[in-house]
Amino acid sequence: MSQPERRVIEFDAVTTLEDIRAARERIRSAVHETPCRRSETLSRLAGAEVYLKLENLQPTGSFKERGALNRLLLIPEGERRRGVICASAGNHAQGVAYHAGRLGIPATICMPEGTPLVKVSSTRGYGAEVVLHGANYDEAYEEARRREREQGLLFIHPFDDAAVIAGQGTIGLELLEQLPDVDAVYVPVGGGGLGAGIAVALHGLRPAVRLIGVEARVIAPMKASLEAGRRVTLDPAMSIADGISVRTAGEQTFEIFQRHVERVLAVDEEEIASAILLLLEKEKTVAEGAGAAGLAGLLHGGATEKGTVAVIVSGGNIDVNLVARIIERGLVKAGRLVRLVVKVPDRPGALARLTAALAEQRVNIIEIFHNRASGRSTLGEALVELTLETRGPDHVEALRGALVARGYDVELDR
């Protein structure tokens, strides 16, 4: 069976400032100019003037639609009916699906099988055909390229495409208008399309601005590539920042990073989770793991910043179940949620006396389990396992001391 006829549409492989300016005019009517908001809390924590560029407020919840739309608009009218295909962990998929649907272009999206449900559902909701394939982005990518060849579709790369890079670079133009005195910009990095586009825009207009990329430590291909002086491919790894969990940096993006990016930091999973919680609690903004990576880099990357710093909050498409786990874990780390195991006599009134003692310490009981059969207690004793809401570490220590003073055997489960 012969393959469908396919015309390959080529683009200049070098993204320029002029390309980014043209992209901005091209996508202006369909993509939001997102706010760049100063944070009092983050400024105090970082010791600098910190502003958040909120790309999580785009219609699809991510910056990705900028590059996707720019690429789609550059496809000649006669070629659009053939349809497009891409591989994505979620945000590029939604950007392509949303704008392809608006433009009447058939879209097929290959996503890893473990992609968060919220991203799969949203992509399907925009009218695209979703194919779940493989354990990671690379396997989904190979399936997309196979379908591209067999079905004659146009592949839209999530980051290693000059038109996509130019679209992402429009953030840099907006940022300089909103924050003309910016000294440094922290940006999440996966394949590098976002950082590359912003770097070209910033250094084309204000070369003194420093750009710092941030990757998840468990899978940081751009950092490894810059250190090796060549592109390297890492083993697959799972990260809370699934949107930037790619094994290989882009060819075009790597070259731009070599020229324009000051450094790339790597942050731990706990640091990313802490940044998600901080944005949610203090800034009232929802960020996914990749979206919060830039803030994690600023607060935990080891650099001391002065002056004016912009942090790109690149996306907010996070599974609510993950949010719940992050909140609970964060409360435990902050000493605001504590688990105690207390031994009490196994006789009437013992549990009532314990809860009265807890009430005196002004703690709130979230969960309680009374266990008489545990091997950790003797006959005549019971274990009471408690989850308590407290005001912080000092309150926890005061509570523990008060219980011990009353003769209770208390085990603190941190």
Q: Does the structure show a pLDDT above 70 at 12?
A: no
As a whole number of angstroms, the longest Cα–Cα distance in the chain is 84
Q: Does the structure show a pLDDT above 80 at 2?
A: no
What residues contact residue 25 under an 8 Å CB cut-off, 6+ apart? none
Give residue 373's pLDDT.
Answer: 64
Give residue 319's pLDDT.
Answer: 86
**pLDDT tens, 129-163?**
999 999 888 889 999 999 999 999 999 999 999 99
Q: Does the structure show a pLDDT above 60 at 6?
A: no
Residue indicated by tokens 């990260």: 239
Q: Does the structure show a pLDDT above 50 at 274?
A: yes
Give residue 268's pLDDT.
Answer: 96
Q: Does the structure show a pLDDT above 50 at 214?
A: yes
More confident residue, 303 or 389: 389
Please pick, among 39, 62, 239, 314, the residue that the annotation labels catalytic: 314
Q: Does 119 participate in catalysis according to the annotation?
A: no
**pLDDT tens, 367-413?**
999 877 665 667 778 888 999 999 989 999 999 999 999 999 898 87
Please pick, among 39, 53, 62, 64, the residue that the annotation labels catalytic: 64
Give residue 20's pLDDT.
Answer: 98
Give residue 375's pLDDT.
Answer: 55
What residues contact residue 385 under an 8 Å CB cut-off, 6+ apart? 339, 340, 341, 368, 369, 371
**pLDDT tens, 74-128?**
999 989 999 999 998 789 999 999 999 999 999 999 998 988 787 888 899 999 9
The residue-averaged pLDDT of 245-251 equals: 93
Give residue 11's pLDDT.
Answer: 44
The residue-averaged pLDDT of 279-305 equals: 94
Band (pLDDT 50/70/90 cuts) for residue 9 is very low
* Termini Cα distance of the chain: 63
The residue-averaged pLDDT of 316-342 equals: 88
Give residue 374's pLDDT.
Answer: 62
Give residue 328's pLDDT.
Answer: 86
Band (pLDDT 50/70/90 cuts) for residue 304 is confident
Domains of the chain, earliest start first: 28-63+161-330 (3.40.50.1100), 65-155 (3.40.50.1100), 335-413 (3.30.70.260)
Give residue 7's pLDDT.
Answer: 37
Q: Does 64 participate in catalysis according to the annotation?
A: yes
The residue-averaged pLDDT of 351-370 equals: 92
* Mean per-residue pLDDT over the chain, rounded: 91
Give residue 119's pLDDT.
Answer: 81
In angstroms, rounded to a whole number, what is the distance separating the alpha carbons of residues 47 and 377? 50
Whether the Cβ atoms of residue 277 and residue 248 lie closer than 8 Å to each other: no
Q: Does the structure show a pLDDT above 50 at 250?
A: yes
